[in-house]
A and B are shown apart, each in its own frame.
Chain A
Amino acid sequence: MTDSKHRSPQGMGFDTLSLHAGQVPDPTTGARATPIYQSAAFVFPDSDAAAGLFNIERAGHVYSRLSNPTNAVLEERMAALDHGVGSVVTASGQAALHLAITTILSAGDHIVSSRSVYGGTHNLLEYTLSRFGISTTFVDPRDMRAFADAIQPNTKLIFGEVLGNPGLEVLDIPTLSELAHAHHLPLLIDATFVTPYLCQPIELGADLVVHSATKFLSGHGVVVGGVVVDGGTFDWQSSDKFPTLSEPYVGFHDLVFADEFGPAAFITRARKEGIRDFGACMAPMTAFQILQGLETLPLRMQKHVANAMEVAKYLEQQELVASVSYPGLPSHPDYELAQTMLPKGCGAVFSFELKDGREAGRVFIESLNVFSHLANVGDAKSLVIHPASTTHHRVDEASLKASGIGPGLVRLSVGLEDAKDLINDLKGGLRAVEKFNKQRASQAAKPLEAVS
């Protein structure tokens, strides 16, 4: 159609879907909550039905690595919230990214990625996948020309995070989507930091979305999980670049996924091959716990972004803080883009730079009481970390600098506590840095013999 930009159907609202999508009361027991189907396998009604399940003629479950009724509720809820044709849940966010990539890329293929990505993602793309013949070129997420210039004949995927890690660069998804599609390439987006409540990348032009469900989707920080959502928007047969979807697959009786499944080609292959063979599936109990979190996602995200804004504004006014990198602040270079792309808020993970470098960062973090020092984000509780010594400790100095990570950079994941308590905690940390600086200055001023 002339007016062909994809849209959401006139369905239920986001809050309703957060609570209901994928689940109706259990027809056997009447259970209102999603039951946990803690079963490895499912009984076949008869041999022909069994063959039909294996041959994708019938709907149902065979074995919980491939699909499970509890997992399916989470998958359908995420598909509904992200406006995808389907999704597959995985053992972790990293497993989701791996599944998304390996469903369409093979040895000899190439990815163009934002360089401001999670450290673990950088490892996967730079070091691990290269062992299997998949190479990646990293570019500045704000430089659209750099994305275009990095595309090679063997490029099969463009990748980035909605909010860069840890610099909080806002990825211009609509522009990058146009660029990717002009080159007949799909755009894969990691939307972990924003969740579908703040940003629905498929609505902005992305084709595939991955989340670490461990973070805001769950909110409680008690499980590890991931999800891949297929927008169903990319035409895998528009070029010969994607033989896993456009050519017969010997591993499934010469099935041509794009021919038979149309918009669901990608997600069907992801389940029928990637989850089947790599096996990084989610446990049903994990799916249940993530579903409990999703029920309150809209309410939690509202509080997360409100608290984050208050904390960011406070920090920006402090003498000891060199800069605050939060796209919700007018001082951020991507503020204008964030206003259009993330009108409900820029998430609750952001970073700031202490003036006095690495030691100041250490003292600050170790002085906090409400913020927990750990390697995670998106918990209901506020979290803090020093990337240069933790999440990015494997990244070399040059790459660290290129990713905008300074020695005094502190990353916060602002939780749901009272904003005043969070600010008081940060005040305490800054006072400790001030005291540390004074002690260091007085020690430096003493003659050497006095010190000894």
Chain B
Amino acid sequence: MKVEIHGKSVAYSSGSGHPEHNAPAIYFLHGAGMDHTVWVMQARYFARHGYRVMALDLPGHGKSDGPALDNVDALADWFYGVIGATRSGADSVTLVGHSMGTLVCLSLAARYPDLADKLVLLGTSAPMPVADVLLNAAQDNDHAAIDMANTWSHGQRSLLGASDNPGTSNLHMGERLLERMGDDVYFKDFSACNGFSTEHYDAIHTPTLIITGDQDKMTPPRAGTAVADMLMNSRLMHLQGCGHLMMSEQPNQVLDAMSAFVLT
């Protein structure tokens, strides 16, 4: 699905929902190099529970018009515009981010503190430094960047080809999804992550759920814990045996944690 905002097409999934005008809104923001399809299960859940679901493709990702943006605050400004244009009559807004998407949520919550009612951050770190070897490969549009990031994004179970979703390979799903992005997108995304700083933010008051994976090599659990400490009103959920792509690696546990936090 697509919506035209300021002359540019923004692609999203509604989770096959048909929300009422005043339905609560929930926005999902994917991580570096990915698109809205990483949220398919969570999007469908909240759509069935009456939410206006907007699982977005960031600029230059998936089927959204480009260009990709290379800093988090610019992405947050874009996100602010999208929410304003699409929330319809929603009287509550929940923002859900993964990895780079969590930084956009944090930026938005810090600069527009009254916008979101709840935040859910999966695989977060603030700051979010990117290893030189990954950044350089992304700059060269070298496939090695995909191979490295995708491998580091999965826990041992996924690396051994096992999945909670019957018959699927999380590892190869990640690889194929990343292969769909255009030139320079990965470098811009990693640059945005690498340049992110919380120095100029006031403390964020928005109730926030942070989900970490104990085998996450991209945003280790201690980084997620540090973000929780930084926030005024947060709770932590640690997933055991889970890597960075927790939405596909442990979809049921993620859904249980999210529904308990968002629906109550």
Per-position binary interface string of chain A over residues 360-397, scored 1 when its CB falls under 8 Å from any chain B CB and 0 otherwise: 00000000000000000000000000000000000000
Contact assessment for B147 and A61 in the assembled complex, using a CB-CB cutoff below 8 Å:
no
CB within 8 Å for A2 and B48 given contacts A76-B167, A232-B173: no
Chain B interface category by residue count = 35 or more
Given contacts A1-B141, A233-B176, A263-B180, contact A20 B161 (CB under 8 A): yes
Interface size class of A (residues with CB under 8 A): 35 or more
Over the window 22-66 of chain A, the binary record of Cβ atoms lying under 8 Å from chain B Cβ atoms (1 yes, 0 no) is: 111000000000000000000000000001100111111100000
Shortest Cβ gap from A235 to chain B (Å): 8
The CA-CA distance from A259 to B64 in the complex, in Å, is 12
Complex CA–CA separation, A78 to B126 (angstroms)? 39
Of the candidates A7, A11, A255, which one forms a contact with B159 in the assembled complex, judged by CB atoms under 8 Å apart?
A11
B153-182 CB mask vs A (1 if < 8 Å, else 0) is: 000010111111111110111111101111
Q: Among B1, B48, B172, point to the contact of A232 (Cβ < 8 A).
A: B172
A34 vs B41: C-alpha distance in the bound complex, in angstroms?
27
Q: How far is the CB of B94 from chain A (nearest CB, A)?
A: 16
B71 surroundings in chain A (CB, below 8 A): none
A83 in contact (CB, < 8 A): yes
Alpha-carbon separation in the docked complex, A297 to B79 (Å): 50
A67 in contact with B44 (CB, 8 Å): no
Any B CB within 8 A of the CB of A449: no
Q: Is A75 an interface residue (CB 8 A)?
A: yes
Q: Given the interface contacts A11-B171, A57-B44, does A24 sit within 8 Å of B160 by beta carbon?
A: yes
B202 located at the interface, meaning its Cβ lies under 8 Å from any Cβ of chain A in the complex: no
Closest B residue to A68 using CB positions: B166
Q: How far is the CA of A24 from the CA of B161 in the complex (A)?
A: 10
Interface check B262, CB cutoff 8 A: no
A3 on interface, CB distance cutoff 8 Å: yes
Chain A 250-270: CB-based contact to B (< 8 A → 1; otherwise 0): 000111000111111001000
Q: Are A263 and B251 in contact (CB under 8 A)?
A: no
Q: How far is the CA of A76 from the CA of B157 in the complex (A)?
A: 12
Which residues of B are found within 8 Å of A408, using beta-carbon distances?
none
- In whole angstroms, how far apart are the Cα atoms of A126 and B165 in the complex? 36
A56 to B45 alpha-carbon distance, docked (Å): 8
Whole-angstrom CA separation of A16 from B160 in the bound complex: 8
Q: How far is the CB of A414 from chain B (nearest CB, A)?
A: 30
A55 proximity list for chain B (CB < 8 A)? 44-45, 48
**Does A88 count as interface, using CB distance less than 8 angstroms?**
yes
Residue A85 CB within 8 A of the other chain: yes
Contact of B168 among A10, A79, A233 (CB under 8 A): A79
B82: interface (CB < 8 Å): no
Q: List residues 62-120 of chain A with CB under 8 A from any CB of chain B.
A: 67-69, 71-73, 75-77, 79-80, 83-89
The verdict on A6 contacting chain B, using a C-beta distance below 8 Å, is: yes
**Contact assessment for A264 and B168 in the assembled complex, using a CB-CB cutoff below 8 Å:** yes
* In contact, A7 and B168 (Cβ under 8 angstroms): no
Cβ of B255 < 8 Å from any Cβ of A? yes
Nearest residue (CB) in A for B143 is A3
Q: At the interface, yes or no: B252 with Cβ under 8 Å from chain A?
A: yes
Do most interface residues of chain A lie in helix, strand or loop, or is the interface mixed? loop
B186 at the interface (CB under 8 A from A): yes
Asked if B73 is an interface residue, CB under 8 A from chain A, the answer is no
B179 touches A56 (CB 8 A): no
CA distance A261 to B13 in the complex (A): 10
Q: Which residues of B contact A6 (CB under 8 A)?
A: 175-176, 179
Q: Which residues of A contact B141 (CB under 8 A)?
A: 1-3
CB pair A58–B181 under 8 Å, yes or no, is: no
Q: B233 at interface (Cβ–Cβ under 8 A)?
A: no
The residues in A between 311 and 366 inclusive whose CB is less than 8 angstroms from any CB of B are none
Q: Is the CB of B172 within 8 A of A83?
A: yes
Is B237 interfacial (CB-CB < 8 Å)? no
What B residues does A86 contact at CB under 8 A?
A: 165, 167-169, 172-173
Contacts of A271 in B (CB 8 A): 167
Chain A residues whose C-beta falls within 8 Å of the C-beta of B174 in the assembled complex: 9
A358 to B45, CA, bound (A): 64
Is A5 in the interface zone, CB < 8 Å from B? yes
* A72 with B48: CB separation less than 8 A: no
The contact of B1 among A7, A10, A259, by CB within 8 Å, is A259
Starting from the known contacts A9-B174, A10-B147, A12-B159, 11 additional A-B residue pairs (CB-CB under 8 Å) come to A3-B141, A4-B179, A9-B150, A10-B151, A20-B161, A22-B161, A57-B41, A61-B166, A72-B163, A88-B167, A89-B167
Identify 11 residue pairs between A and B in the complex whose beta-carbon atoms are under 8 Å apart, listed by A's number. Answer: A1-B145, A10-B148, A11-B159, A55-B48, A57-B42, A57-B44, A57-B45, A76-B163, A77-B161, A85-B176, A233-B176
Question: Top 9 nearest A-B pairs by Cβ distance?
Answer: A21-B161, A262-B37, A75-B167, A80-B161, A232-B176, A59-B164, A72-B166, A67-B166, A263-B176
List residues of chain B with CB under 8 Å of any chain A CB: 1, 13, 15-16, 35, 37, 40-45, 48, 63, 141-143, 145-148, 150-151, 157, 159-169, 171-177, 179-183, 186, 251-252, 255
